Structure 1
Amino acid sequence: MPSSKTFSISEDWVVVILGLGIIFLALFGMGISKPSFSWMSNAELVEKVLSVKNLSAIAIQFFVVFVTAIIGAILLGKNVKTLLSVLPAVYVLTLLALILAGNAVVKEYNLEAVIFSLGIGLLISNFFRLPQWFKDALSTELYVKIGLVLLGTTVIFGNILKAGSLGLIQALVVVISVWYFAFWICKKLKIDKEMSLMLSSAVSICGVSAAIATSGAIKGDSKKLSYVISLVLITAIPMMIFMPYIAEWLGLSQEVTGAWLGGSIDTTGAVVASGSLVGEEALEISTIVKFSQNVLLGIAAFAISIYWTYTKSVNDEIQQEKPTLKIIWDRFPKFVIGFVFASLLFSFAVSSETNALVKDSLKSLQGLWFALAFTSIGLETNFKDLFGQENKKPLYAFLIAQTFNVIVTLVVALILFK
């Protein structure tokens, strides 16, 4: 007797359901307060971060994440029992990372929470033997992709007009030229295509978010993603500190300096910090240019998804037939649909007043999902996997591409903003 078909939902569709579910709950008035992790002294840590009000906001945020993860496990047919003990442990470690990243001194160096999440996870996984059932309960991809769907709420197409034509032109020129150059360098150094795509996107578009979005689009290896993000965060620090002084030495105007900083430094936080060192006008221009690049993230993620699913379909076909649209659709990462839908929703359907009410809580949740993912990646990874000898070529490619990025962005900024 033939077996009957069982109904199943792929992880990407589950991510779309969960991500959009969180968004609509926020839009329909479910209050998810944004906790604060900013502190300078031990006294501020106790008074602000560990206050009853802030701990209540942290508890509510955890409840939302916990329930979402349980629903995800049920829909995917995973073991809920182990999740009930593993996720709280991962959350506590992530909470520690968020508190460390909230310190005023740490913020000055633009060390983001994800690097602390990854570091804490790596320390534990390398000095303690974690049971296999614990590792099996880690849902790294689920956390990353939910964060990406929420990230779509911050990519507002309507704000392209605010970014200005010059900022958008620079973003297009820099992103396209730097992306292709980085990809070409990776090819010359014989780096695998998966790493090449993540590295190229990180250098050319907007650093951490672009690397995460690309990894999600191509179902990339989490260890490779960790390596690329580590490179982004580490190189952003000296660029943030020294580029304003180099600009002053070159005699650049505030407009050109701002455009140069915004187009070449990979993280938004580092751009703001660096622009602030120069002046108000440089800060404004640098933010506009970086925002223009961020807007292109959704388009880039969609294009990379199409490219990757098509090429994978071609490579996987035994016969020399062109892959059908059905094959491409089956392999297309559906979370991108959730990302684009959220972006379109907040660009054209959600009022600016409503957006102002929910954007902070959704952005905080997005950051939390990413931080949870990187704690999980750290718990799954050994130092030798992250910084092994085989990773020297991606390091060289990143540094070469970043140098090219700095030079090209400077030339474009001089042409457009002088």
Structure 2
Amino acid sequence: MAVYRLLPGLLVLCLGAILARAIELTAGFNHLLVAIALGFVLANGLGIPSRLEPGLATHKLWLGAGIVLMGASLTLNTILEAGAVVLFVVVLVTGLTIALVELLSRNVFGLADRLGSLLAAGAGICGVSAVVAVAGAIRAREGQIAYAAATVLLFDAATIVVYPIVGDLLGLSDVVFGIWAGVSMFSTGPVVAVGFARSELAGQWATMTKLARNALIGVVVLGYASYYARTGEGARPSVRTLWDEFPKFVLGFLALVVLASAGVFSPAQRASIENAYSWLFVLAFVGLGTEIRLAGLRNTGLLPVIVVLLSLLVGSTLSLLLLALLF
């Protein structure tokens, strides 16, 4: 794609990021949440001309780049302090969420098997990215993919608002709030947004927890592909397919953590990197806001929403109880 096609949308992202920062300075609202709101208003109020779409679509790239750079502000000691605990909570809650969504979809609400599997992957791992990854492995129909993706996006929009409110009402510490958001919210963008909207520490823990969860995508894709292949209704995944679905920015994040732990970055360099990933996140969240389309959310079926809502309530409650016992 020619660079010039990206420029109009990139310009909108930059202007939105600058405006979000300015609103925070003048009105006191958190700039990350303002950035999402600006993107939402643009998409649902003014509308997005086709010439802006290629540049706006780069917001996932800026989010991944910001997460990679965030690794420079952490050390291995910080991660290892609660690494085993976080991994335990991530695996337990993820497994429970997937199992519960499958159970409710198939045995309670009578949804199609593939739709239930897409909902389980989206709620259990990493939102729409997991829906798309699993869809290719189980040969889901386009209508099922659309329903599952719209349902996930609905909860992404809701949890961006609800989680900070619940966190304040319960008086959660920054570490507990960050882990809770990372282990129970769906998509990476909203997790990072609510984490850093609370504090730098909450944002770091939210991101690290979510990355641990995202890393399970290969296991989930392999599991679903194997299950449906045994029934003669799916495709057997190759190593190349699993590598393609793995979130590469996890590796970049870990690489910078290792470099930071080795003392490669000076305090001035770390400050510059922190400023850089802060701006990258604002750019990404303006673009994230444009993906929350009211028209698409209105078309979401009621039964998928009920299934995912029940799993979210169970998963978020269980993770809060576990974190209360462990921290």
- With the length of structure 1 as denominator, give the TM-score of the two structures: 0.55
Partner of 1:351 in structure 2? 264
Does structure 2 retain, via aligned residues, the 8 Å contact 1:143–1:369? Answer: yes
From the superposition, tell whether residues 111 and 217 of structure 1 become closer, same or farther in structure 2 (CA, over 3 Å): same
From the superposition, tell whether residues 337 and 87 of structure 1 become closer, same or farther in structure 2 (CA, over 3 Å): closer
Distance in 2 (CA, whole Å) between partners of 1:158 and 1:231 is: 30
What amino acid is the match of 1:343? L
- 1:6-405 mapped onto 2 (5 Å cutoff): 73-74=1-2, 82-101=5-24, 105-107=28-30, 112-124=33-45, 128=47, 131=49, 133-134=50-51, 137-140=54-57, 142-155=58-71, 159-162=75-78, 165=81, 167-190=82-105, 192-201=116-125, 223=150, 226-244=153-171, 260-261=176-177, 263-265=179-181, 267-269=194-196, 272=199, 287=201, 291=204, 294-308=207-221, 311-312=224-225, 315=228, 322-329=236-243, 332-333=244-245, 336-348=247-259, 351-353=264-266, 355-378=269-292, 381=293, 383-388=294-299, 390=301, 392-393=305-306, 394-405=308-319
Deviation at 1:187, TM superposition (A): 2.0
Partner of 1:28 in structure 2? none
Q: Kindly, what percent of the aligned residue pairs are identical?
A: 10
What amino acid is the match of 2:51? F
What amino acid is the match of 2:75? N
Deviation at 1:196, TM superposition (A): 3.1
What amino acid is the match of 1:153? L
- With the length of structure 2 as denominator, give the TM-score of the two structures: 0.67
Q: What number of residue pairs does the alignment pair up?
A: 289
Deviation at 1:346, TM superposition (A): 4.4
From the superposition, tell whether residues 370 and 178 of structure 1 become closer, same or farther in structure 2 (CA, over 3 Å): same
Deviation at 1:344, TM superposition (A): 0.9
From the superposition, tell whether residues 150 and 371 of structure 1 become closer, same or farther in structure 2 (CA, over 3 Å): same
From the superposition, tell whether residues 111 and 186 of structure 1 become closer, same or farther in structure 2 (CA, over 3 Å): farther
From the superposition, tell whether residues 163 and 309 of structure 1 become closer, same or farther in structure 2 (CA, over 3 Å): closer
From the superposition, tell whether residues 236 and 268 of structure 1 become closer, same or farther in structure 2 (CA, over 3 Å): same
State the SS of the aligned residue for 1:359: helix
Does structure 1 retain, via aligned residues, the 8 Å contact 2:32–2:285? Answer: no
Highest CA radius of gyration, 1 or 2? 1
Of residues 228-237 and 80-89 in structure 1, the stretch that sits farther from structure 2 once superposed is 80-89
Distance in 2 (CA, whole Å) between partners of 1:313 and 1:373 is: 35
**5+ long unaligned stretches in structure 1:** 1-72, 75-79, 202-209, 248-256, 274-286, 414-418
Distance in 2 (CA, whole Å) between partners of 1:389 and 1:395 is: 13
Does structure 1 retain, via aligned residues, the 8 Å contact 2:71–2:256? Answer: no
**Superposed CA offset, 1:21-48 (max 9, x none):** xxxxxxxxxxxxxxxxxxxxxxxxxxxx
